Amino acid sequence: MEQKLLIVDDEAHIRMLIGQTLEDLEDEGVEFLTAENGEEALKIIEEEKPQLVFLDVMMPKMNGMEVCRRVKKELNLDNVFIVLLTAKGQELDRQKGIEVGADVYMTKPFDPEAILAKAKEVLGLS
């Protein structure tokens, strides 16, 4: 089965950074998708159903928390694993992220090793 991974951030350099961090996964047949705002992300998630989404919280049009809530609570796509990425490390935000259904919450600046390890784990790659 083809694996898909979606990177969502309104900042192009962060999308690129995450893409570079995970580029080895392309050799394992993982298809990379990107979105630059929440609305676009939601549309891609509905159409493509990626196994894994790295989702920025603070974005225009629709923030990551709202995208996550819709995917998990309205579309009931439990098989879409969502990693919320945010510059805010406050406990309240983390709690809110978990409430809207995020599977994992990571703060920026993120550790590339941690992102790669999480992606491999979720996608079942060694």
The reported pLDDT for the residue numbered 47 is 97
Distance between CA atoms of 35 and 90, rounded to whole angstroms?
A: 25
Residue 33 lies in a domain: yes
Indicate the helix (H) or strand (E) that contains 3.
strand 3-8
Q: What Å distances lie between residue 12 and 2, 64, 73, 98, 110, CA to CA?
A: 25, 16, 28, 26, 16
For residue 44, what pLDDT is reported? 98
Residue 3 has pLDDT above 90, yes or no: yes
> Residue 12's closest CA among 43, 51, 56, 42?
56
> Residue 107: which pLDDT band, with cuts at 50, 70 and 90?
confident
Give per-residue pLDDT as tens, 35-76.
Answer: 999 999 999 999 999 999 999 999 989 999 999 999 999 999
Between 7-21, 63-77, 80-94, 105-119, the lowest mean confidence (pLDDT) is in 80-94
What value, to the nearest 5°, has the Cα angle with vertex 105 and ends 50 and 81?
Answer: 20
* pLDDT score for 53: 98
Considering the domain boundaries, does residue 123 fall inside one?
no
Q: Assign residue 19 the CATH number of its domain.
A: 3.40.50.2300
Mean pLDDT check: name the lowest of 42-46, 62-66, 90-94, 97-101. Answer: 90-94
pLDDT of residue 1: 62
The residue type found at 28 is: E
User: Is there a domain that residue 126 lies in?
Assistant: no
| Domain-embedded: residue 34 | yes
Q: Look at the chain and report how many structural domains it folds into.
A: 1
pTM: 0.94
Residues of the domain holding 16: 3-55+64-108
Between CA 85 and CA 72 the distance in angstroms is: 17
CA angle 45, 63, 17 (to 5 degrees): 70
Task: Tell me, yes or no, whether 118 lies in a domain.
Answer: no
